């Protein structure tokens, strides 16, 4: 018999934490919609006391996601932002975080407009150039926080190289792995200390619930985060835990199709005469294509491309029938967004310019519909420009 750790990814997705219910044999994990648990006497209970602290459906999801990322434990939260918030509340006033300069727009909003009011310091650098990382680390730096690929410019950072610097400097490396999912990228194996996701995206995969997770390499971090779940209470409800448990069973199968179609769509866009530039790590002209081949086992479904102007972007987006204009990603349906007015509006024109987000930039999350239908839809919409 293989040990749990030796099982393949798709097997772990379906079985880790998703063992049949011991009471009834039900093949799906039961949803425990309970706030509290009856105790047999003072201090005598079955391991559960109150659902903010722990809930059996949540336990199962946390076991599953820890197994997929190869961590010692996982902690789930009510959204990706709640997970990110929990991570930075592991720090203390006066601590400093070095961040990638091209993050999901909500992350710098939380850091700059909320957490900086509590004495945390954040600075932003281009982590795709490894030479920038070490000089940015100060005496009070406690974390390096990166997304790779970035949202929406699809730049990559070398996780093994950054983690080597972090280890030497005794700084934690935190990676937002939402775009790749653990199926294509395993930051803990490359030396990261914490890996987080908006489970709202590929892990759930069906656009029917928000959620967030932090997976830990060390027990002590898992304990701190469990304390933060209990202390601040931004936990995921049993029903939404169940939605992720259900969605994650098909993660491997979905990611294979996302990746296959993502490559086809990126190739199509790069040859389309109405498209001025395409940003996708799978394209040979991507600045970190060689790193992508080394660090990821697929290129995924996220592609950004340049239409030339906000007018062109709007004309195109209005004509789409299969692809939907919306502010999310990672679902079975193809979603298209306009970063300048949606996800990255909060950065302001100057902030967007620094990282190269133009008003004509469009980001697509390629779904698992028939790829020919996606291509036809994009083609007829692009012709309107
Ligand atoms: C890369 C990334 N991280 C974090 C988040 C935040 O997650 P949520 O919307 O679940 O709070 C998002 C949301 O789009 C995201 O794209």
pLDDT of res. 320: 97
pLDDT of res. 269: 98
Cβ 20 vs Cβ 27: under 8 Å: yes
77 lines ligand 1 (CB under 6 A): no
Predicted TM-score (pTM) above 0.85: yes
| Nearest alpha-carbon partner for 75 in 96, 94, 89, 54 | 54
365 lines ligand 1 (CB under 6 A): no
Contacts for 243 with CB less than 8 Å, ≥ 6 apart: 204, 206, 208, 209, 211
Residues in the chain: 385
pLDDT of res. 46: 95
Which atom of ligand 1 sits closest to the CA of residue 343? 14
pLDDT of res. 351: 87
Q: Please, how many CA atoms are within 13 Å of residue 47, restricted to the half-sphere of its CB?
A: 3
pLDDT of res. 100: 97
pLDDT of res. 322: 97
178 lines ligand 1 (CB under 6 A): yes
Beta strands of 71-201 (E only): which ranges? 73-77, 96-100, 121-125, 141-147, 172-176, 194-198
Q: How far is the CA of 210 from the centre of ligand 1 (A)?
A: 9
Low-confidence ranges of the chain (pLDDT < 70): none
Q: What is the DSSP letter of 296?
A: -
Q: In 37-79, which ranges are continuous DSSP H helix? A: 56-69
SS3 317: helix
Cβ 90 vs Cβ 343: under 8 Å: no
Q: Give all strands of the β-sheet with 172-176 in edge-to-edge order.
A: 73-77, 212-216, 194-198, 172-176, 141-147, 96-100, 121-125
Active-site annotation, residues: 52, 104, 176, 201
pLDDT of res. 345: 87
pLDDT of res. 346: 83
Contacts for 193 with CB less than 8 Å, ≥ 6 apart: 166, 172, 173, 174, 216, 217, 218, 221
149 lines ligand 1 (CB under 6 A): no
Rounded CA separation 213/84 (Å): 9
Q: How far is the CA of 245 from the centre of ligand 1 (A)?
A: 19
Task: Check whether the bond before 20 is cis (ω within 30° of 0).
Answer: no
What residue's CA is closest to ligand 1, atom 16?
Answer: 104
pLDDT of res. 128: 97
pLDDT of res. 2: 81
176 lines ligand 1 (CB under 6 A): yes
346 lines ligand 1 (CB under 6 A): no
Q: How far is the CA of 270 from the centre of ligand 1 (A)?
A: 27
Q: Are strands 194-198 and 212-216 parallel, antiparallel or unpaired?
A: antiparallel
pLDDT of res. 376: 98
Q: What is the DSSP letter of 327?
A: S
pLDDT of res. 93: 98
What's the chain's Rg over C-alpha atoms?
21
pLDDT of res. 214: 99
């Amino acid at each position: 018999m293989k040990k749990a750790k030796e099982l393949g990814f798709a097997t772990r997705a379906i079985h880790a934490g998703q063992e049949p219910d011991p009471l009834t044999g039900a093949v799906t994990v039961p949803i425990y919609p309970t706030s509290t648990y009856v105790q047999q006497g003072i201090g005598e209970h079955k391991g559960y006391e109150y659902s903010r602290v722990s809930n059996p459906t949540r336990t199962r999801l946390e076991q599953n996601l820890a197994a997929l990322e190869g961590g010692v434990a996982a902690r789930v939260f009510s959204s990706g932002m709640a997970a990110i918030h929990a991570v930075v509340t592991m720090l203390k006033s006066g601590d400093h975080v070095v961040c990638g300069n091209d993050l999901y727009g909500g992350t710098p909003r939380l850091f700059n407009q909320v957490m900086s009011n509590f004495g945390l310091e954040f600075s932003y650098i281009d982590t795709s150039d490894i030479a920038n990382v070490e000089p940015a680390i100060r005496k009070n730096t406690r974390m390096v926080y990166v997304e790779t690929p970035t949202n929406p410019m699809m730049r990559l950072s070398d996780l093994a190289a950054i983690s080597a610097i972090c280890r030497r400097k005794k700084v934690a490396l935190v990676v937002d792995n939402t775009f790749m999912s653990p199926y294509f990228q395993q930051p803990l194996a490359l030396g990261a200390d914490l890996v987080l996701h908006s489970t709202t995206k590929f892990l759930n995969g069906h656009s029917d619930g928000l959620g967030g997770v932090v997976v830990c390499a060390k027990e002590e971090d898992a304990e701190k985060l469990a304390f933060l779940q209990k202390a601040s209470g931004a936990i995921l409800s049993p029903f939404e835990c169940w939605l992720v448990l259900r969605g994650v069973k098909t993660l491997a199968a979905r990611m294979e199709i996302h990746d296959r179609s993502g490559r086809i769509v990126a190739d199509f866009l790069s040859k389309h005469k109405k498209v001025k530039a395409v940003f996708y790590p799978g394209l040979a002209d991507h600045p970190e294509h060689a790193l992508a081949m080394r660090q990821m086992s697929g290129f995924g479904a996220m592609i950004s491309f340049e239409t030339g102007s906000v007018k062109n972007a709007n004309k195109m987006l209005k004509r789409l029938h299969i692809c939907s204009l919306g502010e999310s990603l990672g679902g079975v349906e193809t979603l298209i967004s306009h970063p300048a007015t949606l996800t990255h509006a909060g950065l302001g024109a100057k902030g967007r310019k620094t990282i190269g987000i133009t008003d004509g930039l469009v980001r697509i999350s390629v779904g698992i519909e028939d790829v020919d239908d996606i291509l036809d839809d994009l083609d007829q919409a692009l012709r309107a420009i």
